Structure 1
Amino acid sequence: MALTPKQQAFVNEYLIDLCGAKAATRAGYSAKSARRIAVELLEKPDVQAAIKLAMEQRSERTEITADMVLQHWFDLATADPNELVQYRRHACRYCHGDGHAYQWRDIGEFEEAKTKATQNKRAAPTDEGGYGYTTHAAPDPRCPRCDGDGVEKPFFADTRRLSAKGKALYAGIKQGRDGLEVLMHDPQKAWDNVARHLGMFKDRLELTGKDGGPVEINSTGGVSGLLAAARQAVGDADRSST
């Protein structure tokens, strides 16, 4: 049996995110009863066959397989945000200086500081703390200046050198009033998509009977009786929610 235009629209929308309720709403069905309608549509053999065919045709057109899609979501879900951005604490200038005096990177930095001090008529600095300062060194817990807390420093990775997982997580950058912000895709949403593609999530309707108890159904009517009773319960639930 051929699908109605609305049913076909549901099939097309369902392929976007595999969410029945959202697909039903986008296809033009009532938002209030979208979950119930989605369940009913997904139980129809004709709709199931149309979805399967559409997925197969899409894979042929794009040469994208379900395994490739699943791998993408898995990479995103398991990516480490520290690969993109880090909050670091490194040694302050006094942590590793001789006698915890100010430490210079090298003699060139020291000479430049002396020249500027002379030009500005300030006291010349000394190099008693020695040389070799680097931000790669960890704070010294004995440091009397920073008490071992070091100096905070945000770090942004070179996005050209990200791993496959890092590239999946990376969503661009944003320049705002407070500076540069690294944007990331949502790993939790990626986990949801992994679970959905593996069939761990099902579009289903939870029904309860009187006072929150189980739905009481007279089974003497056979399968048709069960379906009729279930639809009646759904209708009652929809009406009570309005």
Structure 2
Amino acid sequence: MALTAKQKLFATEYLVDLNATQAAIRAGYSAKTAGSVGQENLTKPEIKIAIKKAMDKRSERTEITADMVLQHWREVATADPNEIIQHRRVCCRHCFGRDHEYQWVGTEEYDRALNVAKAMAKKGKPPALPSDAGGYGFDPIIRPHPKCPQCHGEGHGQLHVADTRDLSPGARALYAGAKYTANGLEIKLNDQEQAWDRIARHLGMYKDELKLKGELTVKKLEDLM
């Protein structure tokens, strides 16, 4: 049976957002009955065939296949967020100083602190010159010393964001952008739980009849593929 003009338009509009009600409205059906008409249209074999053909043609045009989409979701779902952003426990100044005394990065840092202390002393304040007994070579990104008497091996927390130019393909799929806000740098990641959900639905792991967008059930969507 040949499709009517409205049915053809419905099949075309359905591909826009997979929303049967909105597709029916855009195809010219009454908004009052669009919900029921849209659901009914999805059960008609000739319309299902038209939608399937349109999906196949679109896939050919864009050269994007279902396997490619599934692979993208897999990369998002299995990517390691630690490759992008990490919360580290790093050492304190006493962790690796000699006898766990305060450790300086280098002589320049120590000399600056010494000059500040001398300047304060000239203003009539008691001199409190810093000591370099802890030595030099402080590395702010290594793990805490487990027996440090100052931080007790806890160090302190530090956020680290990776250079996103060097991310693996999976981490790059997970990464959704970054921006500076009033509270600092904000890192956006794609939703891994949503990716797993899409994979499960694609593989037919859900046996329920949960509706997608309030219109199309998982079973009906699978029937269209």
- Range of TM-score over shorter length: 0.7 to 0.9
> What is the 5 A alignment of 1:154-193?
154-193=159-198
Q: Which runs of 5+ in 1 are unaligned?
A: 207-242
> What is the 5 A alignment of 1:130-141?
130-141=135-146
CA contact (8 A) 2:3 2:47 kept: no
Code of the aligned partner of 1:159: T
**CA 1:85–1:10 in structure 2 vs 1: closer, same or farther (change >3 Å)?**
farther
Code of the aligned partner of 1:51: I
1:26 corresponding residue in structure 2 = 22
* Residues in 2 aligned to 1:7 and 1:62: alpha-carbon distance in whole angstroms: 21
CA contact (8 A) 2:21 2:38 kept: no
* Residues in 1 aligned to 2:55 and 2:186: alpha-carbon distance in whole angstroms: 37
1:73 corresponding residue in structure 2 = 73
So what's the TM-score if we normalise by structure 1? 0.70
CA contact (8 A) 2:91 2:142 kept: yes
Match of 1:129 among 118, 129, 134: 134
* Residues in 2 aligned to 1:15 and 1:139: alpha-carbon distance in whole angstroms: 54
**CA 1:4–1:109 in structure 2 vs 1: closer, same or farther (change >3 Å)?**
same
* Residues in 1 aligned to 2:43 and 2:71: alpha-carbon distance in whole angstroms: 28
> What is the 5 A alignment of 1:1-242?
1-2=2-3, 5=6, 8-9=9-10, 12-14=13-15, 16=17, 23-27=19-23, 28=25, 40-121=40-121, 122-201=127-206, 204=209
SS of the equivalent of 2:71 reads: helix
So what's the TM-score if we normalise by structure 2? 0.75
Code of the aligned partner of 2:21: T
Code of the aligned partner of 1:148: G
For residues 7-37 of structure 1, give each alpha carbon's deviation from its aligned partner in whole angstroms, at most 9, with x where no partner exists.
7435543564xx6xxx123323879995x76
For residues 118-156 of structure 1, give each alpha carbon's deviation from its aligned partner in whole angstroms, at most 9, with x where no partner exists.
233352211111122112321123222222211111111
* Residues in 1 aligned to 2:185 and 2:33: alpha-carbon distance in whole angstroms: 42
**CA 1:187–1:154 in structure 2 vs 1: closer, same or farther (change >3 Å)?**
same
Q: Which runs of 5+ in 2 are unaligned?
A: 122-126, 212-225
* Residues in 2 aligned to 1:129 and 1:52: alpha-carbon distance in whole angstroms: 73
**CA 1:47–1:107 in structure 2 vs 1: closer, same or farther (change >3 Å)?**
same
SS of the equivalent of 2:74 reads: helix
**CA 1:13–1:83 in structure 2 vs 1: closer, same or farther (change >3 Å)?**
farther
* Residues in 2 aligned to 1:40 and 1:137: alpha-carbon distance in whole angstroms: 64
2:214 corresponding residue in structure 1 = none
* Residues in 1 aligned to 2:81 and 2:4: alpha-carbon distance in whole angstroms: 45
* Residues in 1 aligned to 2:205 and 2:41: alpha-carbon distance in whole angstroms: 19
SS of the equivalent of 1:120 reads: helix
For residues 44-65 of structure 1, give each alpha carbon's deviation from its aligned partner in whole angstroms, at most 9, with x where no partner exists.
2222212221121112211222
RMSD: 3.0
